[in-house]
Structure 1
Amino acid sequence: GHLLCILGGLSRAHADPVGTAGELKTGRSRGLLQLHSTHLTTQLNNDSTWVQHIEARRQACSDLALRFWDWTVLRRTQPQVRIIPAETGNARVPVGLSCHIWGFYPPEVTVIWLHNGDIVEPDDYNPISAIPNGDCTYQMQVSLLVAPVAGDTYTCSVQHVSLQEPLLEDWSPGLMPEVTILVAVATVLMVLGLGLFLTGVYRFRARPPAPGYTPLPGDNYPAGNGVPICIGEG
């Protein structure tokens, strides 16, 4: 006899006189094996300890099946998205945008590109199928070659069963590298100039009075006017 343990349930022992390969064909051998297997099956099924052990294993197997069902089939993990730009060296399409999506489950996901709110034709980009991570989640990458101009916005839209609405990640072109360098240099020069100016003002105000000059006590101007009184000639 043998036991059948399938995920979700167990069966009691039962006689199998033919065998898994069906190699015992003669009537005499089959009858002898039938006798021994039937006797063994009867003893096992009448043993209360054995039956309780089998029932406990069946229940454990059933609980394990439910736990794995909830953890795998019914599990939902939301994806994360990031767009990474890179120079292509191609004057016609100088920028390559890679939309990285990771940490999601189940593996079915839909990714589309938008240009200023309009859907980009799928022929312009080739999505890579989701590949598994080491933590029972998945990742994928969708790349798009673009020639951006000022004011453009490219959006990676991700649709997944764990999301109530599409997850959107935007990217817009920044300053050209040459312009970025000029802005950085101008900023440094401005900071240095401002520092020199403030240093000069501080030193001018903190310098001691000239020799032979003694400031009079009180205000330099009559109270209430705030301006010097000029007395005309004649």
Structure 2
Amino acid sequence: MASSFLSVSLLFIGLHAADGFMHYVVSRCDFNSTDLKDIEFIRSYSYNKLEIIRFSSSVGKYVGYTELGVKNAENWNKDPSELAAMRAQKETVCQHNIKIWYDAALTKSAEPKVFLSSATPPGGKHSSMLVCSVFDFYPKNIKVSWIRDGQPETAGVTSTDELADGDWYYQTHSHLEYTPSRSGEKISCMVEHISLSKPLVTDWDPSMPEPERNKIAIGASGLILGLTLSLAGFIYYKRKARGRILVPSN
């Protein structure tokens, strides 16, 4: 079976605990496609975290790993109906459910979200660094590349591996270190993924550094808030002034 297989536990049965001892049985399907030849059904019996006996569809019978397991395996392997029932699990349980899993999840895809930002490179060797961050995509395989003035840019590019978020989604980040050679140049991050009908191209706007844009946004928000509070105070003052009664002095 290929090394990049998926393992899915189907059943957790026979769980018993008494005086600190535990016996449990786990059935699972290992597979890398929906073809029957690429599926293996395994039922494992363990006692206090030690596997004592196992049935594997690739072997076709029970195999014991301890003295007790060997004795049980010999007895169970003598029963043709028991072996026939276990061998049938590969098709009736595994293949049936694997087709459902493929249709429900493994054949689906999620479009990536792309964020382009600037950062200060370590060591000061380059005047600028762009970071293309790609989030929330599925499946894992993705291609992130850079384009500069319509031509592929490979110099000064470093990228991370696809990182699993733990919720079926992935993220990756690509860095471009460069020294702008002239004004008006166009730099873009291009993302290619199975969920996209065409490459997703995000252009970098070098008109203003990101920290400066953030400062302006914060300052504008503060100015609007200040004007709003001043207007509210002025309206309150005018209303109070109308309600006053002036008493002439002697």
TM-score, with length taken from structure 2: 0.49
Given the alignment, which residue of 20, 25, 46 partners 2:64?
Answer: 20
Distance verdict in 2 for CA 1:65–1:175, change over 3 Å: closer
Given the alignment, which residue of 138, 157, 160 partners 2:170?
Answer: 138
Amino acid at match of 1:20: G
Give percent identity, aligned residues only.
21
Distance verdict in 2 for CA 1:103–1:175, change over 3 Å: closer
Q: 1:92, 1:147 within 8 Å by CA — same for their partners in 2?
A: no
Distance verdict in 2 for CA 1:154–1:90, change over 3 Å: farther
Distance verdict in 2 for CA 1:99–1:63, change over 3 Å: same
- Structure 2, unmatched stretches of 5+, are 1-25, 30-38, 42-54, 224-250
CA shift, 1:132, in A, is 0.5
CA shift, 1:70, in A, is 2.8
Given the alignment, which residue of 185, 189, 192 partners 1:156?
Answer: 189
- Higher normalized contact order (CA 8 Å, seq sep 6+, divided by chain length): 1
SS in 1 for 2:155: helix
Given the alignment, which residue of 38, 41, 46 partners 2:79?
Answer: 41
Q: 1:151, 1:172 within 8 Å by CA — same for their partners in 2?
A: no
- Whole-angstrom distance in 1 between the partners of 2:81 and 2:122: 80
1:91-118 deviation line (CA, Å, top 9, x unaligned): 7732210000111112111111111211
Q: 1:152, 1:172 within 8 Å by CA — same for their partners in 2?
A: no
Q: 2:192, 2:199 within 8 Å by CA — same for their partners in 1?
A: yes
Q: 1:99, 1:141 within 8 Å by CA — same for their partners in 2?
A: yes
Amino acid at match of 1:41: D
TM-score, with length taken from structure 1: 0.52
Corresponding residue number in structure 1 for 2:157: 125
Distance verdict in 2 for CA 1:21–1:113, change over 3 Å: same
- Structure 1, unmatched stretches of 5+, are 25-29, 46-50, 189-234
Distance verdict in 2 for CA 1:44–1:151, change over 3 Å: closer
- Whole-angstrom distance in 2 between the partners of 1:152 and 1:20: 69
